[in-house]
Amino acid sequence: MKNMNCKIYYPVDWMYNDATAFYIDIMADAMEQKGYAVTHVKTPSEITQEDTVIIISAVDTRAVLPRNPKKIICWFQGIAPEEKYYFNQDKSLGKMARIRIFLKQSFFEWYALRHCDFNFFVSNAMLKYYRRKYCYRKNNWFIMPCFNQLLNLNAFTAEKYAKPSFVYAGSLDGWQCFDNTLEIYKKISHRVQGCSLTILTGAQDQARAILKRYGIEAEVKYVTRDKIDKELSKYKYGFIIRQENPVNKVATPTKMNSYLANGIIPIFTDVIGAFKENLATLKYSVPLTTENEGLEKLFKLEKNGFSVDDVKAEYQKVFATFYSREYYLRLLAKIEL
């Protein structure tokens, strides 16, 4: 029997980082369980016709396909054309320039969907989006959300849930909806006594200026990546507020995984399709509409109180399926990759 080789191709180091490595390693483990020898490569010249290749960007199909590998497996982390169109931070680009970038990136996605032998999508909404946009009709796909943390059982303490502490973790880029988050928190603070808000961001001065504009008192600090989990485990509620657009509809932000892993009850906009499908019905979650309706659920949680063990038990169920490494490996074992 010939050796079966799987090569994970990422031409630049940042493509395999803290945010992506956990996901990529699940794919690698699945291949190893199928008998493949898995290695990481950075140049197309390291790929042969006998290899199965995992790529983590649709654009890389162009570099890998000419090597004529046995199979190409692609991870679609998000809808790149729409991300660049909606969230491009280069304000000097005019509308036509953004449209040209959108069309170019859309070609790369279409090309990858046409030529790759198997695809990883992060949500059902992404699959449906590609069905509509590219008339993608193949069945060579697997859905697994973005996540990179396991459940931290030490984060579920009576002390933490005794007080209504809120946290916002992230940058202040427009797409993270920091202003909208503060508007929501202000509504909450009018109804819930003893609220506290902590902002975890690198843009501390900017955050303080915006907080001052809203008349909100909050602690603002920066926590290094290696200490973020310990910090997050202190808080009861966390914000994930997003606008309604195609990018957010198909995405599965790892921030939700980080919050739930550390016992944080998420306050999130239900425009994120996968979260609406899998997490909105949780007793200990607060889904909001784009009009910020839905806070009554939070007010009831605060009024009635709840058991720490109940929160832990509910989140354990989430981490037994939706955010379970073992769960996806079991499913992948039944699929020919």
Is it true that 5-145+325-333 and 153-318 share their CATH fold? yes
Render pLDDT for 112-122 as a digit per residue (tens, 0 to 9). 999 999 999 99
Q: pTM of the predicted model, to two decimals?
A: 0.94
Residue 89's pLDDT is: 53
Whether 238 and 166 have beta carbons less than 8 Å apart is answered as yes
> C-alpha angle 278/26/236, rounded to 5°?
45
Render pLDDT for 48-75 as a digit per residue (tens, 0 to 9). 999 999 999 999 999 999 999 999 999 9
Residue 99's pLDDT is: 87
Residue 311's pLDDT is: 98
Handedness of CA 64, 65, 69, 71 (dihedral sign): positive
d(CA 257, CA 39): 27
SS3 (DSSP) at 71? strand
Instruction: Determine whether 27 is exposed, middle or buried from the number of CB atoms within 10 Å of its CB (0-12, 13-18, 19+).
Output: buried
> C-alpha angle 321/326/327, rounded to 5°?
35
Q: Where are the domains of the chain?
A: 5-145+325-333, 153-318
Q: Which residues pair with 52 in a beta bridge?
A: 6, 71
Instruction: Determine whether 331 is exposed, middle or buried from the number of CB atoms within 10 Å of its CB (0-12, 13-18, 19+).
Output: middle
| Topology, domain 153-318 | Rossmann fold (3.40.50)
Q: Which CATH number fits domain 5-145+325-333: 3.50.50.60, 1.20.1560.10, 3.40.50.2000, 3.90.1010.10?
A: 3.40.50.2000
Q: What is the pLDDT along the chain (337 residues), one digit of tens a residue?
A: 467 999 999 999 999 998 899 999 999 999 999 999 999 999 999 999 999 999 999 999 999 999 999 999 999 999 999 998 877 655 567 778 888 989 999 999 999 999 999 999 999 999 999 999 999 999 999 999 999 999 999 999 999 999 999 999 999 998 999 999 999 999 999 999 999 999 999 999 999 999 999 999 999 999 998 899 999 999 999 999 999 999 999 999 999 999 999 999 999 999 999 999 999 999 999 999 988 899 999 999 999 999 999 999 999 999 999 999 999 999 999 998 8
d(CA 256, CA 275): 9
